[in-house]
Each structure stands twice: as C-alpha cells, then as structure tokens.
Chain A
Amino acid sequence: MGNPSLISIENLRFERDDTTVVSCDQLHVNVGEILQIEGPNGSGKTTLLRLLTTALQPQEGTILYCGKSIAECRFEYLSDILFIGHQSAVKLTLTAEENLAWMAESDLSSAASLRALESLGLAGYSDIPCYKLSAGQQRRVALARLLLSDARLWYLDEPFTAIDRDGVKLLERCMEDHVSSGGAVVVSTHQDLDVQDVRRYSVLGESLLRAYS
C-alpha cells in the first residue's frame, strides 16, 4: 500500500435534520502539505473540521490516521492534532500567559510561553487580563498555542479573523515552517493564502447544491 497519507477520508457523510451538511468522497492530507478548505458560508467547512477533530461523529464513512481508523487510535490521534476554532477558548479573566499555561496542560516553562507571545507581537502583554486586549490580540493569544504545541496536524478554522495584515503574514510563515518540519495544516479560510504548495479543496453542502441548481 506504500506510504499511507497522514489523513485519509473515505465516503464521509454527516447529516443534521435530514440535510447532508458534509459529504466528502475522498480526501487526503499528506505530510508537508497545506490544505485550504474553501466554500461559501454555510457550506460545511467548520463541520468538516469538527468531524476531523472528532468533536462530531459522522453518520457514514471513515477517517484514517496513518492508515488506521481514528476510533482505533483515538488517544494517539488526539495527541497529534491541534484545533483552533472560531471560539478561541481564551479565558478573558486570565492573562495571556495563564491562558497558555492551562491550554498546554503540561509543564510549560514561563520562558517558552513568553517567547511564543513575543513572536506573535504580544511582548509586554503577557500579564494583562485578556479582556483588556483587543479582539485581534485575543486571537493572537489563541494562535500562540501553535508555537508551543508539538502536534503534527494543525486544524485551523478561519484563523485570520480579526488578525491584521502583519499577523496574517506571520501566521503564513508559521504554517510554512510547520509543514517543512514534517507537519501538515488543514485551514479553512476565504483569503488567498500566500504560501508555497497550498492545495485547495472545495466543499459544498447539499442544501447549497440544491439552492444553486
């Protein structure tokens, strides 16, 4: 069978209230690849990503991780992924550094989290409660997890929301660095990514297909 893809999706279907939200016959994510998921609003991009993170269970089909079903190697798979969604999971009453500390859930050295915040342009903001930060800065706190995690697979759902132009570039470099060191990124966004070797995948939910035809 050769070298299996990092992620293979086969005949994945997810329905909600008798409407097919996600229908994906075949999709592979390989090591060293940035996969951009495109589609109009309501086409199921977020649902597809949530299926990939196991937050949702599909009605049909399988997701294989390194050739094994993710239900079989759940623990291994979940240790290897990092998901940043629309809701950033940043606790507003905590400081940026405290947020990173609990998100990492392991012994995180203070120096490492300060470095990560610094490279995302949050130097000097590490000890301020997050409710005092702007929306873009809060987003950056969430994205700082990318630099601290050793997960191979990143799932990013609209990561550029509220991020300024410099921030977008920074994040694109992060993604390139990550894939060049053997990782993979699945990102849903409407923006054109300025990165090398981006592969695009379009999703179109059944409800939309019907509306278009």
Chain B
Amino acid sequence: MRKYASNGFYAYLRRDLLQSHRRLGEAASPLIFFVMASTLVPLGITPDPASLAEIASGIIWVFALLATMLSVGGLFAGDYQDGSLEQLLISPQILVMPVLGKVTAHWLITGLPLTLVSPLLGLMLSLPEAGYLPMTASLALGTACLSLLGAVGAALTVSLQKGGMLLALIVMPLYMPVIIFGAATVQYGIDGLAWTAPLAILGAMLAAAIALCPLAIASVLRLTSIN
C-alpha cells in the first residue's frame, strides 16, 4: 500500500515534467505571458519610476495570478481526453498522491519560473530595493497556493469542452486571499514593516491547501468520471 502511494506521486511528477520538457514552447508560455503583460504596464500607464514603484508589487502579483490561472486549466484536460485519467481512477492507489504529483509538476513548470524571473520585472517596474526579497518569498509560497487552488477548478471543469471562462470564475474568488497577503508582504517590505507576518499567513494558507486541495481534487475527479 505504501509502495503504491509514494510511487504514484513520483510517477506522475516525472511524467508531467517529462511531457513539458518535450513541449518546452508550450510550457514556457505562462512565463512569457507574465513578462510581456508586465511590460505593457510602463507602456500603457506611465514610465515614471516614482509612480511605477507604487504599483509594481500589485502588478507583478496580478499577472502572476493570471499566468497561473491560464495555465492550470489544462492540468487534467489532456489526461481526460486520452483516457489516462480513467486509468488513474481505476488504479489501485490513493488518488491523492498522483494528484499531488501533478500539481507539484505544474508549480515547478509555472510558479517556480515566475518566482525566479520576478526580480527582473521588479527592476523594470522600479520596485524599491527593500521589496525584492519579500516579493520572491511571497511569490514562491503564493504560486504554489495558486497551483493547488487552480487545480480544484481544473478538476471541476475537466469534462467541459470550453471550460476556460468558467474556470476563471470559479478560482478567482479562491485566489483573492492569496493576492491580498501576497501583495501585502511586498508592501510591508517596502514600508519597512515586519513583512514576515503576512508571509507567515501565506505559508499557513499553503499548508492548508496542501492538506485539503488534493482531497477535494480527488473527489471532484471521481464525481466527474461517473457521469
């Protein structure tokens, strides 16, 4: 039983990473979206460093959220279409572990690169120096939350042909607490306040999401499949 549990996690983590490795262009598109959308802000609003510095943290967080949301929709779609989701549902293992493996792969492919590239965008948007560390730390924890919550929405919309907009409507309310505390962490850092406090709340959210989201995803996937 234990053997199955751990293998399910690594088997699906490995498989999804390998698949993205084969389709690097597709895997990189959330990151490119993130960078390009953030570039539009100085062009569209103002290139003035002082004004940009005020909104930089919020902009980076909003676009990180959108990039995650756009990419998470396909998390189970491929598996649903080619029959591997059905194979997973009838395999003798605890569904939670493969699901967690898939979400982890999604974070490694989208959330982690977003986090790593965010200082560059900070530079472009004239983010004050004190904001860099809080931003990277909050994005690291926050994007993991976004992947987990988004996966619940992806599971709910898996059987729909065009579930993209519905997915957005389902997950955006769930994303609100994450962005509130994520952007607050950066702002606290800039203002010289104790930014570890909102970061700790983000960490608590992530811990809760890791514990609860895979359970929700697993039962939603079971529900969608029996119809």
- Name the one of B4, B8, B18, B84 contacting A89, with C-beta atoms under 8 angstroms: B84
Residues of A within 8 A of B22 (CB): 93-94, 129
Residues of B within 8 A of A98 (CB): 15, 18
Contact A105 B226 (CB under 8 A): no
Residues of B within 8 A of A81 (CB): 90
B86 at the binding interface (Cβ < 8 Å): yes
Residues of A within 8 A of B92 (CB): 74-76, 78-79
A5 at the binding interface (Cβ < 8 Å): no
Known: A88-B82, A105-B93. A56 touches B226 (CB 8 A): yes
Q: How far does the alpha carbon of A129 sit from the alpha carbon of B225 in the complex, in Å?
A: 28
Task: Determine how close the nearest CB of chain B comes to the CB of A197; give it in whole angstroms.
Answer: 27
Contact digits for B21-37, partner A, Cβ 8 Å, 1 yes 0 no: 01100000000000000
- Name the one of A57, A76, A83, A106 contacting B90, with C-beta atoms under 8 angstroms: A83
B51 at the binding interface (Cβ < 8 Å): no
Q: How far does the alpha carbon of A55 sit from the alpha carbon of B86 in the complex, in Å?
A: 7
Question: From residue 204 to 227 of chain B, which have CB atoms closer than 8 A to chain A?
Answer: 225-226
Residues of B within 8 A of A75 (CB): 1, 92
Contact digits for B1-20, partner A, Cβ 8 Å, 1 yes 0 no: 10110011001101100110
Known: A78-B92, A102-B12. A55 touches B83 (CB 8 A): no
Contact digits for A65-104, partner B, Cβ 8 Å, 1 yes 0 no: 0000000001110110101011111111110001001110
B39 at the binding interface (Cβ < 8 Å): no
Question: From residue 90 to 128 of chain A, which have CB atoms closer than 8 A to chain B?
Answer: 90-94, 98, 101-103, 105-106
Question: From residue 30 to 76 of chain A, which have CB atoms closer than 8 A to chain B?
Answer: 53-57, 74-76
Task: Determine how close the nearest CB of chain B comes to the CB of A124; give it in whole angstroms.
Answer: 20
Q: How far does the alpha carbon of A91 sit from the alpha carbon of B226 in the complex, in Å?
A: 23
Question: In the complex, what residue of chain B is closest to A151 when comparing beta carbons?
Answer: B92
Q: How far does the alpha carbon of A78 sit from the alpha carbon of B78 in the complex, in Å?
A: 23
Residues of B within 8 A of A89 (CB): 82-84, 86-87
Contact B90 A53 (CB under 8 A): yes
Contact B19 A94 (CB under 8 A): yes
B81 at the binding interface (Cβ < 8 Å): yes
Question: In the complex, what residue of chain B is closest to A81 when comparing beta carbons?
Answer: B90
Contact B82 A105 (CB under 8 A): no
B46 at the binding interface (Cβ < 8 Å): no
Q: How far does the alpha carbon of A86 sit from the alpha carbon of B22 in the complex, in Å?
A: 25
- Name the one of B7, B12, B83 contacting A88, with C-beta atoms under 8 angstroms: B83
Q: How far does the alpha carbon of A55 sit from the alpha carbon of B225 in the complex, in Å?
A: 7
Q: How far does the alpha carbon of A89 sit from the alpha carbon of B80 in the complex, in Å?
A: 9
Question: In the complex, what residue of chain B is closest to A105 when comparing beta carbons?
Answer: B11
Task: Determine how close the nearest CB of chain B comes to the CB of A106; give it in whole angstroms.
Answer: 6
Interface-centre pick from A76, A87, A94, A98 (highest chain B CB count, 10 A) = A87
Interface-centre pick from B4, B7, B8, B83 (highest chain A CB count, 10 A) = B83
Contact B83 A87 (CB under 8 A): yes
Residues of B within 8 A of A57 (CB): 226
Question: In the complex, what residue of chain A is closest to B21 when comparing beta carbons?
Answer: A93
Interface-centre pick from A78, A91, A106 (highest chain B CB count, 10 A) = A91
Residues of B within 8 A of A92 (CB): 82
Contact B83 A102 (CB under 8 A): no
Question: In the complex, what residue of chain B is closest to A90 when comparing beta carbons?
Answer: B82
Task: Determine how close the nearest CB of chain B comes to the CB of A45; give it in whole angstroms.
Answer: 16
Known: A93-B22, A102-B15. A54 touches B84 (CB 8 A): no
Task: Determine how close the nearest CB of chain A comes to the CB of B94; give it in whole angstroms.
Answer: 10
Known: A87-B81, A93-B23. A105 touches B7 (CB 8 A): yes
Knowing that A55-B89, A98-B18 touch, tell me 16 more A-B residue pairs with CB under 8 angstroms.
A53-B90, A55-B86, A78-B90, A78-B91, A83-B86, A83-B87, A87-B81, A89-B83, A90-B82, A93-B18, A94-B15, A102-B11, A102-B15, A103-B87, A105-B11, A106-B7
Q: Which 5 A-B pairs have the closest CB atoms?
A: A87-B83, A78-B92, A89-B84, A93-B22, A79-B92
User: Which residues of A come within 8 Å of B, CB atoms?
Assistant: 53-57, 74-76, 78-79, 81, 83, 85-94, 98, 101-103, 105-106, 129
